[in-house]
Amino acid sequence: MDIRAAKAVVTGGASGLGAGVGRYLASRGAQVTLVDLQAEAGQKTAADIGPAVRFIQCDVTQEAAVEKTMQAAADAMGGINLLVNCAGIIGAGRVLGRNGPMAGDFFTKVIHVNLIGTFLCDKAAASLMQHNAPNEDGERGLLIHTSSVAAFEGQIGQAAYSATKAALAGMTLPLAREFAAFGIRVMSIAPGIFHTPMVGGMTPEVQASLASQIPFPKRLGQAEEYARLVESIFTIPMLNGETIRLDGAIRMQPK
């Protein structure tokens, strides 16, 4: 599909990878709706990018709110043919920590935001995409998950986070197989260490240390690089049912 024909919903769009995807897609001529729980930051990001971008506040863990948001985005853009799931939380913590075992509610919250939130957005977007007019390949839309290298080399303290990111990679193929009947592709991207707001808040020394762990290029990933991969996936229809690592060849150590 031509990126200029994209009608994209980007969750977690107020900052980080989501904001980077929204900014890049808009620069390439796509229509974009940013979705985030942070209303003030989301509205500012949308306004900074320009008139081709709109913002809708939504908690991705709330099914009815997600369905309403997807419908509102489709109404505003004349449909949806691309969903990029960037909403998520880190949820770092040891299972057996200094203050006792990890609370089950903490683990559950990470699952709700990262995994169930993505599933709810997938479901709501796909329900609308199935009614799109197909292109010459019979394609009607694309869903993209943000997994992580932590899905494969989770570090100490990432039990909850890694579980969700592995699950996002794991449900990519079964969803791709099911949605093939509707001409909807499903892909996951597993980024390594990227320059997100969380990393940006670290000291230059810590950022340099993280960058030094990446074989090549020896620097943190940029949100635009993630966004450029989103564009490539959107324009190459044979990419389906797979997780692509975007990590500079890093393999994470235990801690």
| Distance between CA atoms of residues 184 and 132, nearest Å | 10
Q: Which residue has the tokens 């691309």?
A: 82
| Distance between CA atoms of residues 38 and 48, nearest Å | 15
Q: Is residue 189 part of a domain?
A: yes
Q: Do the Cβ atoms of 83 and 125 come closer than 8 Å?
A: yes
CATH number, domain containing residue 86: 3.40.50.720
Q: What is the DSSP string of 24-70?
A: HHHHTT-EEEEEES-HHHHHHHHHHH-TTEEEEE--TT-HHHHHHHH
Question: By three-state DSSP, how is residue 202 classified?
Answer: coil
Domain count, the chain: 1
The overall average pLDDT reported for the chain is 95
Q: Is residue 23 part of a domain?
A: yes
Q: Is residue 155 part of a domain?
A: yes
| Distance between CA atoms of residues 92 and 77, nearest Å | 37
Average pLDDT (105-130) is 98
pLDDT category at 127 given cuts 50, 70, 90 is very high
Q: Do the Cβ atoms of 123 and 69 come closer than 8 Å?
A: no
Q: Is residue 216 part of a domain?
A: no
Q: Is residue 113 part of a domain?
A: yes
What integer pLDDT is reported at residue 199 of this predicted model?
78
Q: Is residue 38 part of a domain?
A: yes
pLDDT category at 174 given cuts 50, 70, 90 is very high
pLDDT in tens, 45-101: 999 999 989 999 999 999 999 999 999 999 999 999 999 999 999 989 999 999 999
pLDDT category at 133 given cuts 50, 70, 90 is very high
- 161 tagged catalytic: yes
Question: By three-state DSSP, how is residue 3 classified?
Answer: helix
User: What's the pTM value of the predicted model, to 2 decimals?
Assistant: 0.95
Q: What percent of the chain clears pLDDT 90, i.e. is strictly above it?
A: 89
pLDDT category at 206 given cuts 50, 70, 90 is confident
The upper half-sphere exposure of residue 207, i.e. CA atoms within 13 Å in the direction of its Cβ, equals 14
Asked whether residue 202 carries a pLDDT value surpassing 80, the answer given is no
What integer pLDDT is reported at residue 52 of this predicted model?
84
Given the residues 24, 55, 119, 161, select the one marked as catalytic.
161
Q: Is residue 17 part of a domain?
A: yes
Closest CA relative to residue 57, chosen from 46, 49, 109 = 46
Q: Is residue 10 part of a domain?
A: yes
Q: Do the Cβ atoms of 141 and 152 come closer than 8 Å?
A: no
Average pLDDT (177-198) is 94
Q: Which residues span the domain enclosing 47?
A: 3-194+221-246
